[in-house]
């Protein structure tokens, strides 16, 4: 139940983004923060939460995360402003970070028999796919019959049921040899990533060359360097950097991040394109996004079979090329395109992600000794959330930059009041709302101009996403080992060492 609501939340919100534009007046930049506030906190706290669960008790941290997630969902459901919603989404990220690393650790502890464990992880993976698959349709159904907050309120009964089941069915467990938590590392990672994402997201409105954007971006990079140095020197690092010396670990995490970069970034713009550009309702949009998530859920269980036949390198590299092909096909959409014109790209996106993620997870987990499975699952989760957050930030910011460049000059001679001008320049939804109010030929011209500017920006963002995926595929083919090493590390092997403990 916990996994269902966490994965559901990654896709159910996308369908609601255009509704947030209409109901709360959110700009594209604010939509990026609504999505990324959750992902940023989720990624930043996941590793330290994983180590805390191993140290203080997996069920205790897990149930605490469920409670936090449920409470923050209620807060988000009744938010009255964009700022409050962003804060609530960050709170949901705290709860999700407490839950997710503990799920695989609990499975590993409860199911000691390898065959049972594989079946349990299969159920875990299927539940992830189910949450991703039903999210868009569930969001559309809720928005069709209730207010926008219902996409968050739906989490609450699941969280309550999960708390009851965990108390009755999940035994407490911990790793007696677990390292102390690393709160300093967590603060540094969130601060560094937050500054970097802020610079990327705010650049279109403040200027890519503005002093504040360049300063925040540079500060973010500097803080992340400090994070790496801290983790390297710490006796109890949040992330053991020595794991990255193993190529099956480092390139697997990179591949997951690059696949999610494309998937999350594409979903961010596609839900707006389908509703504002093609005129579908929230429910119709959810149904039309279903093939992406559905194909991902169907292909994901088959990926390990393909790995055994062809090797990790081939499956991951091919999957990233398929993702790139999907993004490129979607980038060619125009104002006169139909759903049929973009369906192929959406299917390729789901197929590619379904190949990459399970194969990379298998590679990542295969490098770690049993005592570090919590760190392994957390590392995979960080890759998913961080890759998705950067994808939304980069693709969304390229979209906003091109959109504002295309729509700004034509409306400048009309000297609109600043509030109206900001609304038109802030999002396609704002421009279409004004066009509907104006009506007549002027309204139709404004709507056509806004849609053209949006599609142009979407094409730019998705084309860059395709280039990133191609680069990732080249990296996978060149550097990712095809098979596990014969001398894979055990509890006392190389992967366990770091300078603070040697």
Segment 93-102 mean pLDDT: 86
User: What is the per-residue pLDDT for 323?
Assistant: 93
What local confidence, expressed as pLDDT, does residue 120 receive? 76
Q: Tell me, what's the pLDDT at 498?
A: 44
| Nearest residue to 384 via CA among 21, 116, 10, 2 | 10
**Domains defined along the chain, listed by start:** 2-182+234-412+446-496 (1.20.1250.20)
- For the chain, the 3-state helix, strand and coil shares in percent, each to the nearest 5, are 85, 0, 15
HSE of 491, CA atoms in CB hemisphere, 13 A? 5
Give me the mean pLDDT over the 363-371 stretch.
62
Instruction: Look at residue 117 and tell me whether its pLDDT is greater than 80.
Output: no
Mean pLDDT of the chain: 82
Rounded mean pLDDT of 160-176?
84
Q: Is the pLDDT of residue 463 over 90?
A: yes
pLDDT band, very low/low/confident/very high, at 365 (cuts 50, 70, 90): low
Lowest model confidence (mean pLDDT) among 2-11, 108-117, 357-366, 485-494: 485-494
Q: What percent of the chain has pLDDT over 90?
A: 21
CA angle 111, 362, 60 (to 5 degrees): 45
| pLDDT > 70: percent of the chain | 87
What token pair was written down for 360?
């990379």
Of 340, 355, 357, 52, the closest CA to residue 178 belongs to 52
User: What is the value of pTM for the model shown?
Assistant: 0.81
The more confident residue out of 105 and 265 is 265
Going by C-beta distance under 8 Å and a sequence separation of 6 or more, which residues neighbour residue 489? Answer: 246, 367, 368, 369, 495, 496
Could you count the other beta carbons within 10 Å of the beta carbon of residue 156? 16
Closest CA to 38 of 4, 66, 73, 67: 73
Q: Which residues in 290-319 are b (16+ Cβ under 10 Å) and which e?
A: bbbbbbbbebbeebbebbeeebbbbbbbbb
Among 377, 371, 374, 1, smallest CA distance to 168 is for 1
Residue 347: the pLDDT is: 93
Q: What is the pLDDT of residue 467?
A: 94
- On the question of pLDDT at 485 being above 60, the answer is no
- CB-based contacts of 411: which residues, under 8 Å, 6+ apart? 421, 424, 425, 446, 449
Q: Rounded CA gap, 71 and 77, in Å?
A: 10
Whole-number CA gyration radius for the chain: 22
Neighbours of 33 (CB within 10 A): 25
Residue 8 near residue 134 (C-beta atoms within 8 A): yes
Quick one: angle between helices 428-438 and 440-479, nearest 10? 170
pLDDT of 343 above 90: yes
pLDDT tens, residue by residue, 414-423: 777 877 787 7
pLDDT of residue 247 exceeding 90: no
Spatial contact of 70 and 159, defined as CB atoms under 8 Å apart: yes
Tens of pLDDT along 392-405? 888 988 998 899 88
Band of the pLDDT at 84, cuts 50, 70, 90? very high
Least confident of 189-198, 201-210, 357-366: 357-366
Q: How confident is the model at residue 475 (pLDDT cuts 50, 70, 90)?
A: confident
pLDDT 10s digits, 148-165: 899 999 899 989 998 999
Taking only the tens place, the pLDDT of each residue in 292-318 is 877 887 887 787 788 888 888 888 899
- What's the pLDDT tens digit per position in 210-243? 888 899 889 989 998 998 888 888 777 767 677 7
Query: Rounded to the nearest 5°, which phi and psi values hold at 116?
Result: -65, -40
pLDDT at 490: 44
* pLDDT at site 222: 94
Burial of 161 (0-12, 13-18, 19+ CB in 10 A): middle
Contact present, 265 and 323 (Cβ < 8 Å): no
The pLDDT of 364-389, averaged and rounded, is 68
For residues 283 and 297, is the Cβ–Cβ distance under 8 A? no
Contacts of 184 (CB under 8 A, 6+ apart): 230, 234
């Amino acid at each position: 139940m916990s996994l269902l609501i966490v994965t559901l939340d990654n896709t159910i919100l996308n369908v609601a983004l255009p509704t947030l534009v209409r109901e709360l007046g959110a700009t594209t930049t604010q939509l990026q923060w609504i999505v990324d506030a959750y992902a940023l906190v989720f990624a930043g706290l996941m590793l330290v939460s994983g180590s805390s669960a191993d140290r203080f008790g997996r069920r205790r941290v897990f149930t605490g995360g469920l409670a936090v997630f449920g409470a923050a969902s209620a807060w988000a459901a009744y938010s009255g402003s964009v700022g409050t919603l962003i804060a609530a989404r960050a709170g949901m990220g705290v709860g999700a970070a407490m839950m997710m690393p503990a799920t695989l650790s609990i499975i590993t502890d409860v199911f000691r028999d390898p065959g049972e464990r594989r079946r349990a992880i299969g159920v875990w993976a299927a539940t992830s796919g189910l949450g991703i698959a039903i999210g868009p349709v569930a969001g559309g159904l809720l928005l069709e019959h209730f207010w926008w907050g219902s996409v968050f309120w739906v989490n609450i009964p699941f969280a309550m049921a999960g708390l009851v089941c965990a108390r009755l069915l999940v035994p407490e467990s911990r790793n007696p040899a677990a390292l102390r938590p690393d709160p300093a590392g967590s603060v540094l990672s969130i601060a560094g990533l937050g500054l970097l994402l802020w610079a990327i997201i705010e650049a279109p409105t403040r200027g890519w060359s503005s002093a504040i954007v360049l300063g925040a971006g540079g500060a973010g990079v500097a803080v992340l360097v400090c994070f790496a140095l801290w983790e390297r020197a710490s006796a109890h690092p949040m992330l053991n950097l020595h794991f990255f010396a193993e190529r099956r670990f480092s390139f697997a995490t990179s591949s997951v991040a690059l696949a999610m970069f494309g998937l999350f970034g594409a979903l961010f713009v596609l839900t707006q394109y389908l509703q504002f550009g093609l005129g579908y309702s929230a429910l119709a949009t959810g149904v039309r996004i279903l093939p992406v998530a559905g194909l991902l859920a169907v292909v994901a269980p088959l990926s390990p079979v393909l790995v055994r036949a062809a090797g990790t390198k081939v499956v991951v590299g091919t999957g990233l090329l398929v993702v790139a092909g999907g993004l490129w096909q979607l980038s060619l959409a125009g104002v006169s395109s139909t759903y049929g014109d973009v369906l192929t790209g959406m299917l390729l996106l789901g197929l590619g992600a379904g190949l990459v993620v399970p194969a990379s997870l298998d590679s990542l987990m295969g490098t770690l000794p049993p005592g570090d499975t919590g760190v392994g699952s957390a590392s995979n989760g960080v890759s998913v959330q961080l890759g998705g957050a950067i994808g939304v930030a980069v693709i969304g910011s390229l979209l906003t930059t091109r959109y504002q460049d295309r729509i700004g000059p034509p409306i400048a001679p009309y000297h609109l009041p600043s509030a109206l001008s900001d609304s038109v320049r802030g999002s396609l939804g704002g421009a279409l709302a004004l066009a509907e109010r104006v009506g007549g030929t002027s309204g139709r011209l404004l709507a056509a101009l806004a849609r053209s500017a949006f599609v142009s920006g979407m094409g730019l963002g998705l084309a860059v996403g395709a280039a990133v995926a191609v680069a990732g595929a080249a990296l996978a083919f060149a550097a990712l080992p095809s098979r596990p090493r014969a001398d894979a590390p055990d509890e006392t092997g190389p992967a366990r060492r770091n300078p603070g403990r040697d």
